[in-house]
A and B are shown apart, each in its own frame.
Chain A
């Protein structure tokens, strides 16, 4: 990558207060990324979504976020006011959520919502915005953009909804896209088609992508690098091609418990969790 990272996070901590003491959802998470596809993988409750939301400050007000540094293109996001953050969201960093049906406004057409995402950040005429929206809908391979423009979110299928969501998030031309389980609710073939669209657009525009998912195999085939999280901590960061050579017991455990088409019929290996993984001085055992 080039000299300055696109996004740099150092020592991110998120805690949620609860009657039984604070819940430490994210602990000492640090990573840097350039214009690449990075995957954050973990099981439910591993803190992967909270990490994604903390970058954009989209957590509820009672969440306590502490970080050594969150820098985006050299700007310190921690020092930004709420008003300044609004210039970042959408324009610079945008986020695709899991379920398009719940993340869009049900009483406005999808076209109007994509248009809004564009006009809110740019001074353009309505006609121009509409033309740009049509182009964007074509870019996400919607064959009849004129028709789709007039539909309401509940009238589109899951796969199309997610493509509309991607169009909406990419239209202000951000430099970083955070995708939080964007395809988990879709059928496998549709899932891959949506990913291919996202991949092409991200590559063409030279953007960074943070892909949050629970599917280790999918992430390893889609992303350049993988961050594996468990219990709010980063277990390990590795290049996607090295996934199968990983020696971390958690990563190995996750890989081994997947059923495989070509696998043996007998019992699947189960994951034996080890409390020592969550200790800060845990080091990956070397194979030898």
Chain B
């Protein structure tokens, strides 16, 4: 479904040159969830931004459904690939109601039947009709993230890119949003690429997990391997130890990578 090979991204030049993504390659099959995990600055979000077209200056190849796509994308690309962002407070237009936000992609793509589509998608993400004409400030964080998911779903895409979809939410709300994402994926046979810094979230949602550090892929492991701690690289092991909580003795063994 999605094949990335030898992706390279370089920001800046001269002294401020930053090789943010180095030779990253992975393949995601249809209906699968693929997780990208790493610490800040590891390049995980940059990879997602390259796929979605938010960064146009990259080298390598991105293939969707066997078609190679370049840095310019056409309308049909956006019908296939949609994205949900990290911050539900920043990614919704503050002066647009939920209804207006959701109708915009329909108008852009000339799909018609807007009212029914909005009604259907709101039901699907678990927001009642009473939320339809509210502004973002009248919604809680979890409800806003549901609107963001609805906006991605309304074009009936096949691939959804999720950039830290729950890191701004409380754990109880995170559980609801993760459940929603999983239900939708099963129902519509969607393909997910999920970026997160939280190993537990990624291992809950994804079958295959790629660990990134400083722009490079450290290791690609399956969910079972992570659960059985069948890990080859030191970096991944340290990340796993750190996600288990505070252990004074283990912290002294930490290294900088």
Interface residue ranges, A against B (CB under 8 Å) = 43-44, 158, 187-193, 195-196, 199, 214, 216-218, 220-222, 253-254, 257-263, 265, 267-271
Contacts and interface: CB of A to CB of B under 8 A. Distances in A.
A128 to B, nearest CB: 32
Contacts of B176: 270
Q: Which of A192, A217, A218, A254 has the most CB of B within 10 A?
A: A192
Contacts of B182: 267
Interface in B207-250: 223, 226-227, 238-240, 242-248
Contact of B179 (A217, A254, A267): A267
Contacts of B223: 265
B246 A189 contact: no
B39 interface: yes
A158 to B, nearest CB: 8
Interface size classification for chain B: 35 or more
Contacts of A191: 242
B246 A260 contact: no
Contact of A221 (B39, B175, B246): B246
Given A221-B246, A261-B243, A268-B178, 18 more contacts: A43-B170, A44-B141, A158-B40, A187-B40, A190-B39, A192-B246, A199-B246, A217-B245, A257-B172, A257-B174, A259-B178, A260-B200, A260-B203, A261-B200, A261-B227, A263-B200, A265-B223, A271-B175
A41 B201 CA distance: 20
A220 B203 CA distance: 22
19 contacts: A43-B170, A188-B39, A190-B39, A192-B246, A192-B247, A214-B170, A216-B171, A218-B246, A220-B245, A222-B246, A257-B174, A258-B175, A259-B198, A262-B227, A268-B178, A268-B204, A269-B175, A270-B175, A270-B179
Contact of A188 (B175, B204, B243, B247): B243
Contacts of B174: 257, 259
Contacts of B203: 259-261, 263
A193 B204 CA distance: 26
Contacts of A269: 175
B9 to A, nearest CB: 21
Contact of B204 (A189, A196, A254, A260): A260
Contacts of B172: 43, 253-254, 257, 270-271
A176 to B, nearest CB: 20
Contacts of B175: 257-259, 268-271
A203 to B, nearest CB: 10
A191 B246 CA distance: 9
Contacts of B162: none
A43 B204 CA distance: 22
Contacts of B179: 267-268, 270
Nearest to B176: A270
A257 B177 CA distance: 11
B19 interface: no
Nearest to A265: B204
B218 to A, nearest CB: 13
A189 B248 contact: no
B254 A192 contact: yes
B171 A258 contact: yes
Interface string B150-185: 000000000000000000001110111011001100
Contacts of A261: 199-200, 203, 226-227, 240, 243
Contacts of A270: 172, 175-176, 179
B3 interface: no
A271 B175 CA distance: 8
A254 B39 CA distance: 25
A189 B254 contact: yes
B174 to A, nearest CB: 7
B63 to A, nearest CB: 28
Contacts of B226: 261
Given A254-B171, A258-B200, A261-B199, A189 B178 contact: no
A66 to B, nearest CB: 28
